[in-house]
């Protein structure tokens, strides 16, 4: 069965690119444009992995991750933060809020799928490790 990935991303261009890359490699993609919608979709369709943009309207990615981790059903689902922030403090913040790791924007199409695969395989590593 195909792995299901929830992409929480408010930028249409990034969402398009990520969806394109994931679907081309056989993943099922479900999308949400903000944190509230993301939490609702995750609860209804329990994905295998969540790709979470940190810069989201109203509720930022850190708050979304913390909320997702409060759910017993969703707590085991790895969350990968996607952000243009590259400061060490932001990685710590992502980890503290429950993310398993970190991918930096802009998405590199050549390495992206490998990073996602690593997170799916181990749940805790791949991409830029925290
Ligand atoms: Mn954003």
Please write the tens of the pLDDT for every residue from 58-80.
999 999 999 999 999 999 999 99
* CATH code for position 83: 3.40.50.2300
Q: What is the distance in A from the centroid of ligand 1 to the CA of 28? A: 21
Does the pLDDT value for residue 16 go beyond 50? yes
**This prediction's pTM:** 0.91
Secondary structure, 3-state, 4-22: EEEEECCCHHHHHHHHHHH
Q: What is the distance in A from the centroid of ligand 1 to the CA of 34? A: 9
Q: What is the distance in A from the centroid of ligand 1 to the CA of 54? A: 6
- Structural domain containing residue 101: 4-129
Q: What is the distance in A from the centroid of ligand 1 to the CA of 14? A: 9
Residue 129 pLDDT class (50, 70, 90 cuts):
very low
Does the pLDDT value for residue 86 go beyond 80? no
Backbone angles phi, psi at 52, to 5 degrees: -120, 110
Number of domains comprising the chain:
1
Q: What is the distance in A from the centroid of ligand 1 to the CA of 24? A: 23
Q: What is the distance in A from the centroid of ligand 1 to the CA of 57? A: 7
Alpha-carbon gap, residue 16 to 41, rounded angstroms: 18
DSSP label at 1? -
Q: What is the distance in A from the centroid of ligand 1 to the CA of 9? A: 6
Does 84 or 13 have the greater pLDDT score? Answer: 13
């Amino acid at each position: 069965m195909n792995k299901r990935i929830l992409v929480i991303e408010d930028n249409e261009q990034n969402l398009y690119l990520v969806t394109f890359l994931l679907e081309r490699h056989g993943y099922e993609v479900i999308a949400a444009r903000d944190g509230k919608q993301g939490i609702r979709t995750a609860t209804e369709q329990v994905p295998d992995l969540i790709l979470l943009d940190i810069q989201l309207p109203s509720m930022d990615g850190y708050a979304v991750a913390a909320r997702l981790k409060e759910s017993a059903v969703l707590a085991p689902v790895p969350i990968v933060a996607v952000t243009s922030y590259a400061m060490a403090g932001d990685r710590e913040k992502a980890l503290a809020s429950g993310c398993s790791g970190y991918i930096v924007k802009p998405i590199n199409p050549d390495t992206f799928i490998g990073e996602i695969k690593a997170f799916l395989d181990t749940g805790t590593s791949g991409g830029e490790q925290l």
